A and B are shown apart, each in its own frame.
Chain A
């Protein structure tokens, strides 16, 4: 697209953000989950993985997938400031997606966590990776979080003992905001954050061209 003065004026000014260093986590089955950040140009491909879940009512997949779709589009089309997206892959296949953005130097805004392959605690690890990004690599002081599903509420608000801060508005619109502070992160990351670095070249390479899942357990009978 032509980036003329008009387009330039519609784009937010980007803050330089340290990239997320990729890592791998050994799953209970012995498989390796690779977690890495995506580049802006990868968004259209990732959107294809999100699309099928936009109409699945169960477990709030429809709202989470639809919102992630629009958030990633916002990132791709330069209409959201300082957004990032991390993906998880196993054997090259996309198994989970998380995203968020920096509000300012000190405060992060967590958007969504979506697991494509259920049952292996992938969502929990991707969420932890997101928090790791905000608090350990972007050196922020706190992250604002909301939950759309009871599962999310239990996994984050209760397990991380998040601080309730209803007076602060979260961009996702009105549901009570909770905060992961640096202190809470230091308290819980030992039992919550997995993964090892550096990641071997060959392993990281498997995530180079993320493969779209052929089937989704959440959508019986679906085939890409």
Chain B
């Protein structure tokens, strides 16, 4: 079963949220429905980090902030050779951190 990522849609005003909030940032309502968050994105900014935290045994890792077509702006890992601001990428879901007993899933943005 493929892992999915979700956005949280306010049941009162329809405002999308990612990550989760307890209270809608537009209208203050407290009920949300889950909607799948996927699709193509535009790259807002990127970086390549060489000093990784504990547990990441790689010399460097790419990260990017992207914008989905629904307006949501999200940070994730970036696996793109030559990133450029404004380029179109696809969002995939994969293991972003290996844990003890469970892995953490998140966005990995790749070239289309």
Contacts and interface: CB of A to CB of B under 8 A. Distances in A.
Are A and B genuine complex partners?
A: yes
Interface of A: 157-161
A86 to B, nearest CB: 24
**Chain B binding surface SS class:** loop
Interface of B: 50, 57-59
Contacts of B58: 158
A55 B59 CA distance: 32
Residue picked from A157, A158, A160, most chain B C-beta under 10 Å: A158
Contacts of A161: 59
A158 B59 CA distance: 5
A14 B105 CA distance: 56
Contacts of A157: 57
Contacts of B57: 157-158
A157 B58 CA distance: 9
A159 B57 CA distance: 9
A93 B107 CA distance: 51
8 contacts: A157-B57, A158-B57, A158-B58, A158-B59, A159-B50, A159-B59, A160-B59, A161-B59
Contacts of A158: 57-59
Chain A to chain B: the 5 pairs with minimum beta-carbon distance, closest first: A159-B59, A158-B59, A161-B59, A158-B57, A158-B58
A158 B9 CA distance: 41
A161 B50 CA distance: 12
Nearest to A188: B59
A157 B57 CA distance: 9
A200 to B, nearest CB: 33
